[in-house]
DNA sequence: TAGATTCTGCCACTGAGTGGCACAAGCCTA
DNA sequence: TAGGCTTGTGCCACTCAGTGGCAGAATCTA
C-alpha cells in the first residue's frame, strides 16, 4: 500500500514527479473554485490564485490552458471519462441515444464519490454567472461531441430504424444529432441539479439525466398552440 | 427615395448619426473578415484592424463587445432575425420543432440576399479554424436558445403529443430540448454548407437545414451495432 | 447660430497569456 | 551513491485584448 492519504484511485504507485504534478493541479482547482466562488471569477487575478497556491503563473499555464480551464475541470473530467467509457463499453444494439446515456451514467459513477459532486456544483454555479466560463464549457462539449462521433464511427455500425435509408453522410449526421441530444439533455439536467437547494449527489444528477433523456421523444413530438389573446391579422 | 447607394432595408431615412454608425460597423465587419481570412484570426491585432478602417480602438469596443464578436456578426444577425420572426410569426399548431425550423428558414430568407451568404461563409470558415470564435458562437447560440424559450413560453401553450403529461417543468424542459435540436441540426447543416466547394446560396443552406431537421427522428431512433472485429470479453 | 447631446480620439492602465533562459528536483545507470 | 540526463519550475520581459477618463468634435434641437 501507500502512505494512506496521498492515493488517487488510478495510481497505486505513480512516479513521484507525476504525483507532485497532480497535487498542484488539484490544489489549483480547489483554490480556484474557492476564490472564484467567494469573490467572483473575474475579480480574482491569476497572480492572486498563483500566490495562494505558491506556484508561478508560468507553471499554471503548463497545467491549464486558460483561466476558465481550471474552473471547468470537474466537468471536463466527466466528459473525458465519458469518452473512455465509450471506447470500452460492451454495448448492446440499443438505440444510439440510450447507448450514450448509459455511457454518461457510467462516467458519472466513475467520478470520485463525494468530492466530485461538490466541486462540480461549485464549478457550475460559477459558470452560470460567468459568460466566458459558459462559453469555454460549451466549446469543450462541442469538441467532445466531435470526438465521440469519431469513436462511434470507429466502433459501431449504424442500423437506422427504417432500414435501407442509412447512406453515407446520413449516418454521420445522425450520430452528431444523437450526441447533441444527449449533450442538451445533460445540460438541462445539470442546470436543474445546480438550481436545486440541497442534496447534490451523483445519484441525483443521474436521476435527472435519465429524466431529461426520457423527454427527448416528447420534445420532438410536442406541438404548440398560440396563446388565445392574440388577434388574427 | 434616398441617394441610391446608402440604403439599408430597414431604414428609409434614419438620423445621419445612426447611418454613420451603421456604416463604420459594416466597414469593420467587412475589413475584419478580409484581414482575418487572409492572415488568420489571431495574427491580426485589433490595432491593425482599427487602423485599416481608420477608427480608434475605443470606438471599436463601443460597436462590438470583443474581437470575436465582429467576425461572428453574420451568424448573430441571423439569430436575431430568428427571434424577431418567432415573435411575429402567425404559427400553426404544428410540431414545435417544425415551428422553429420554419422560423429559421424565414429568418434566412430575411438576410440581405447575396452579400450575406458570402459574409456568413467567410465567418464560418474562420470559426472552423479558430477555437475562440467557435466558443463565442456557441455561447451566443445558447443565449438565443434561452431567449427563444422565453418567447415560446410567452406566446404559446404546449400540447404534448400524449396528453395529460405536460406538467410544469416538463413543458419548459421540452421547449429547451426542442430548441437545442434545431440548433444542432442547423450547426450540422451549416458545417456541411461551409464544407461544400461552391454554390453557397441562402437557398442551399435552407435546403440543408431542412434535410438535417428531417433526420432528427431518425437520429433519435437509430440503433448501433458493435463492429465485428471486437472480441467479447 | 447657440447650446445641449452624443459620439469619437487619445492616453494610460490592468490583466491574460507567451517565450526564453537559468536553475533545481526527480530519474537512471554504473 | 555519485554522475549525468531529463523534466518541471521560477523569474523576467513582452504582446495584446479590453476598460476608464477626459477633452474635443460632430450631430441634433430650437
d(CA B233, CA B228): 13
- Its CATH class, for the domain covering B16-65, is mainly alpha
Say if residues A54 and A119 touch (Cβ distance below 8 Å): no
Third-level CATH fold of B72-215: Tetracycline Repressor; domain 2 (1.10.357)
Q: What is d(CA A146, CA A99) in angstroms, rounded to the nearest whole number?
A: 16
Strand C contact with A47 (CB < 7 A):
yes
Distance, in Å, from the CA atom of A44 to the CA atom of A35, rounded to the nearest integer, reads 7
**Cβ count near A118 (within 10 Å):** 13
Interface test with A, best of B154, B162, B220, B227 (most A CBs within 10 A): B220
List pLDDT tens digits, range A129-176: 999 999 999 999 999 999 999 999 999 888 765 555 546 789 999 999
- Nucleotide with smallest C1' distance to residue B16 CA: D27
Do A16-66 and A72-215 share a fold? no
Q: Are B125 and B190 in contact (CB under 8 A)?
A: no
Residue–nucleotide distance: A101 CA to C15 C1' (Å): 41
Beta bridge partners of B156: A226
Question: CB B218 to CB A162 under 8 A?
Answer: yes
User: Where along chain B do its domains lie?
Assistant: 16-65, 72-215
pLDDT band at B121 (very low <50, low <70, confident <90, very high): very high
Cell numbers of B67, please?
Answer: 474581437
**Contact yes or no for B142 and A139 at CB 8 A:** no
Cell of residue A33, nine digits: 473554485
Angstrom distance, A89 CA to C11 C1': 60
Q: pLDDT tier at B161 (50, 70, 90 boundaries)?
A: low
Q: Which of A157, A181, A222 lies at the smallest CB-CB distance from B219?
A: A181
Instruction: State in words which class domain A16-66 has.
Output: mainly alpha
Over the stretch A174-206, which tens digit does the pLDDT of each residue have? 999 999 999 999 999 999 999 999 999 999 999
pLDDT more than 90, % of chain B? 76
Amino acid at each position: 500500500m501507500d502512505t494512506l492519504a496521498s492515493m488517487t484511485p488510478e495510481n497505486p504507485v505513480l512516479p513521484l514527479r507525476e504525483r507532485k504534478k497532480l497535487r498542484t493541479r488539484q490544489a489549483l482547482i480547489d483554490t480556484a473554485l474557492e476564490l472564484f466562488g467567494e469573490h467572483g471569477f473575474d475579480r480574482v487575478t491569476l497572480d492572486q490564485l498563483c500566490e495562494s497556491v505558491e506556484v508561478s503563473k508560468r507553471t499554471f499555464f503548463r497545467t491549464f490552458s486558460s483561466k476558465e480551464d481550471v474552473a471547468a475541470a470537474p466537468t471536463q473530467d466527466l466528459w473525458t471519462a465519458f469518452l473512455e467509457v465509450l471506447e470500452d463499453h460492451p454495448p448492446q444494439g440499443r438505440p444510439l441515444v440510450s447507448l450514450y446515456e448509459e455511457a454518461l451514467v457510467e462516467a458519472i459513477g466513475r467520478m470520485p464519490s463525494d468530492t466530485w459532486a461538490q466541486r462540480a456544483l461549485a464549478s457550475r454555479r460559477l459558470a452560470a454567472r460567468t459568460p466566458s466560463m459558459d462559453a469555454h464549457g460549451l466549446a469543450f462539449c462541442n469538441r467532445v461531441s466531435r470526438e465521440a462521433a469519431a469513436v462511434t464511427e470507429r466502433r459501431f455500425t449504424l442500423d437506422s430504424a427504417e432500414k435501407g435509408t442509412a447512406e453515407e453522410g446520413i449516418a454521420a449526421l445522425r450520430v452528431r444529432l444523437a450526441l447533441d441530444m444527449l449533450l442538451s439533455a445533460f445540460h438541462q439536467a445539470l442546470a436543474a441539479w445546480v438550481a436545486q437547494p440541497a442534496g447534490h449527489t451523483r445519484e441525483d444528477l443521474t436521476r435527472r439525466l435519465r429524466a431529461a433523456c426520457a423527454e427527448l421523444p416528447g420534445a420532438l413530438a410536442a406541438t404548440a398552440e398560440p396563446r388565445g389573446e392574440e388577434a388574427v391579422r
